[in-house]
Structure 1
Amino acid sequence: MSRRFRGESHHKVDTKGRVSIPASFRRVLEAGDPNWKSGETPELVIVYGDHRRNYLECYTMQAIDEVDDKIDAMPRGSKERKMLQRLFHGQSFPTSVDETGRLVLPAKLRQKIDLEAEAFFIAAGDTFQIWKPETYDTVERAKEEEWLDELPDDFDPLVYLDRAREE
């Protein structure tokens, strides 16, 4: 099992689109890049997706290879394969971390999610997401609160792990 991204943080974005990646995230990117060597910078793939996606999802090379293998296993010419190829191959941006631990986000990606002076990073297991902080607060936190409000006060989310084992 590969290392997982964990945590969340806010980072400044400069006028050239440079933003520091949390140090712990950089260690996971290094571990998830089979070509990475000490003293070099790890590669990653940023999937920006279609107009409905309002965040950037960053994949280690290992994680994107797993996605690619699953796409390749689908029937050639199927609508599903074509759509997933468009999303993960066409609507993505391969890049690397620079020598100072930053990502350079092109203007196209910053404009897509309306990213300006600050970025919000949040771990998502084998990926991490980059959001405009205000969008995350209004969209994702609202979904989380809605879900939590439907649960009893003494609810323990670990129960979902036991269900996953049963399936």
Structure 2
Amino acid sequence: MVRRFRGEFHQKVDGKGRVSIPADFRRVLETGDPTWSDGKAPEFVIVYGDHRRAYLECYTIDAANEVDEQIAGLPRGSMERRMLERLFNGQSLKTGVDETGRIVLPAKLRDKIGLDSMAYFIATGDTFQIWKPETFEAEEAAKTEAWLEQFPDDFDPLTLLDQRKGE
């Protein structure tokens, strides 16, 4: 069973772009890196994407390999394959967690999402995202609230899973 990222965390970012990866996230990164062993830093992939993406999406090596396999399954030379290769492979960075549990986010990535002294980490199952806290609050929290407004106050989102059984 693949371990999943869970939780949300606020982490300080220093002037050099160093930020601690939450300990629970590091455990998932370790299990998702086929070359990781005790004493070695786990590697992972940060996809920063195009100008419309206001966050960084972080994939374990295994999860990135799954996406790569799906992209490779598209017809060679097709526009879809070329665009996905560019957006997923070209606009990404392979990195590793250092011995203190931190990563260095390059200035290009910090500038892209407007990150300064604080980063917001949120789990999204098989990936996690890094946001500027204010951007997440303004954009994503509002989307969640708008989505929930279509349901009654006693709505349990897990009931949506029951609907998929009948498909």
Aligned Cα RMSD in Å? 0.7
1:22 aligns to 2:50 (yes or no)? no
| 1:135 partner letter | T
* Alpha-carbon distance in 2 for matches of 1:164, 1:20: 37
| 2:89 partner letter | H
Structure 2 portions without partners, runs of 5+: none
Runs of 4+ residues deviating >3 angstroms = none
User: TM-score scaled to structure 1, two decimals?
Assistant: 0.98
Q: Deviations over 1:26-82 (max 9, x none)?
A: 000000000000011000000000000000000000000000000001111111111
In the other structure, the counterpart of 1:164 is 164
What does 1:147-158 correspond to in 2, within 5 Å?
147-158=147-158
Please state whether the residue corresponding to 2:33 is helix, strand or coil: coil
TM-superposed CA distance for 1:121, in Å, is 0.1
| 1:40 partner letter | K
* Alpha-carbon distance in 2 for matches of 1:165, 1:51: 37
User: TM-score scaled to structure 2, two decimals?
Assistant: 0.98
* Alpha-carbon distance in 2 for matches of 1:148, 1:6: 21
In the other structure, the counterpart of 1:132 is 132
* Alpha-carbon distance in 2 for matches of 1:136, 1:110: 15
Structure 1 portions without partners, runs of 5+: none
* Alpha-carbon distance in 2 for matches of 1:35, 1:166: 40
In the other structure, the counterpart of 2:60 is 60
* Alpha-carbon distance in 2 for matches of 1:93, 1:106: 10
* Alpha-carbon distance in 2 for matches of 1:99, 1:69: 30
Q: Deviations over 1:112-161 (max 9, x none)?
A: 00000000000000000000000000000000011111211121111111
| 1:85 partner letter | E
Matched residue count: 167
Percent of pairs with identical residues: 68
| 1:86 partner letter | R
1:80 aligns to 2:80 (yes or no)? yes
* Alpha-carbon distance in 2 for matches of 1:147, 1:4: 24
In the other structure, the counterpart of 2:4 is 4
TM-superposed CA distance for 1:165, in Å, is 2.6
TM-superposed CA distance for 1:166, in Å, is 2.5
